[in-house]
Structure 1
């Protein structure tokens, strides 16, 4: 029977860890998120999805919970991750700075960005106290008073190219230990991960296409951050799709490039994954090549909310094991 309180206030974390080749480690981290300190499973926490890419050696674990419980749940998962992942020996083609590389918290239902930011800051403080050598940088709503976005913080820290942590200056914690590296913690409107593979091995061409759709480009897609990576013998255009509040030029209708959703009365928009795929396909076709499908890593904001509400209402902690038979 349902153990879900009426009006449960939900948030999600897409926990990015630098391990995808030892799945028992990844699953142990996911399962740690579900347990209270007494070892019993928490009824208001669910792991909705696990996405692992062995070539990138990176996994994204989607944790959804009551906002009152999410910080403790993420902390438990991080403690397991720091015990199991050693950045001194970690290898993979995806950029990363930490064993736990990124902890973004997103509001889903009944909770605002400010409260998510407070949970993120509290989590950061608890993490550096709990894990010797853990160091943290803050972004978004957790980074007060500046509220610098993740992309800006990553550029400042050399996330895209750096593997030497010794000279980094964290916001919390001592200089990063080589085993732990540096962890980003913050809160923002939902960010979706959408990747499109082009049928080419030409990385320069992939970077050209990625640049063309990047939101910073004058003709790019608003809120879309992109990189191109060699992946399984082809080139993958990896996109972080940010939600934004600005309503200018964001009419939403069937077939529109923008999708809309609301959280606690605030309206957000993001570029449709289908539109991103269509744009990459067109740009690739103009260069004489094709595409090989689109991968949505996890959920759209609406899907994440629906899955979270269902999983917690039904007290399904390991939702990632059954999601294909329920929602997809």
Structure 2
């Protein structure tokens, strides 16, 4: 594995909680255990009772076209895991329909990374969350 810190990815993570400060703080603390992934923006929407986090980190590649890891992967898993522990959808409501505790995750290439590379990362994150949290 080699690190090329010039290849970056961003992720937008939507959590179905925008009012419970204790839950959001716990989710952010979970991300803090992975300091090489940085929360660059937080947008809590009180009316929707939903929060969007933008998280950025570098990609770790096995070769020029295969992403095998990223601190972003670990931070996203930690945040999702904490969200599942701290948010109770049965009592949660907001103007936005509830799709799940983790409502939406999107990945975006930055710097010299490609859409294909971040798609590989998205598949790894999906396997982590789907395989270990459900």
Give me the TM-score of the superposition, normalised by structure 2: 0.83
Equivalence for 1:98: 100
Equivalence for 1:227: none
Report how far residue 62 of structure 1 moved: 1.1
Q: d(CA) in 1 for partners of 2:14 and 2:89? A: 14
- Checking the alignment, whether the CA contact within 8 Å between 1:16 and 1:103 is kept in structure 2 is yes
Equivalence for 1:45: 37
**Matched pairs, number:** 122
User: Which structure dedicates a bigger proportion of its chain to strand?
Assistant: 2
Report how far residue 75 of structure 1 moved: 0.7
Equivalence for 1:34: 32
Q: Which consecutive unaligned segments of at least 5 residues does structure 1 have?
A: 37-41, 133-328
Give me the TM-score of the superposition, normalised by structure 1: 0.35
Report how far residue 7 of structure 1 moved: 4.4
Query: Which protein is bigger by CA-based radius of gyration?
Result: 1
> Alpha-carbon deviations, 1:28-53, whole Å to 9, x = none?
212312314xxxxx3x2111111111
Greater RCO, CA 8 A, separation 6+: 2
Q: d(CA) in 2 for partners of 1:65 and 1:101? A: 21
> Alpha-carbon deviations, 1:172-216, whole Å to 9, x = none?
xxxxxxxxxxxxxxxxxxxxxxxxxxxxxxxxxxxxxxxxxxxxx
Query: What is the RMSD of the two structures over their aligned residues, measured on CA atoms?
Result: 1.7
Q: d(CA) in 1 for partners of 2:10 and 2:18? A: 21
1:71 to 2:87 alignment? no
Q: How does 1:225-244 map to 2 (within 5 A)?
A: none
Report the secondary structure of 2:91's partner residue.
coil
Equivalence for 2:62: none
Report the secondary structure of 2:103's partner residue.
strand
User: Which structure dedicates a bigger proportion of its chain to helix?
Assistant: 2
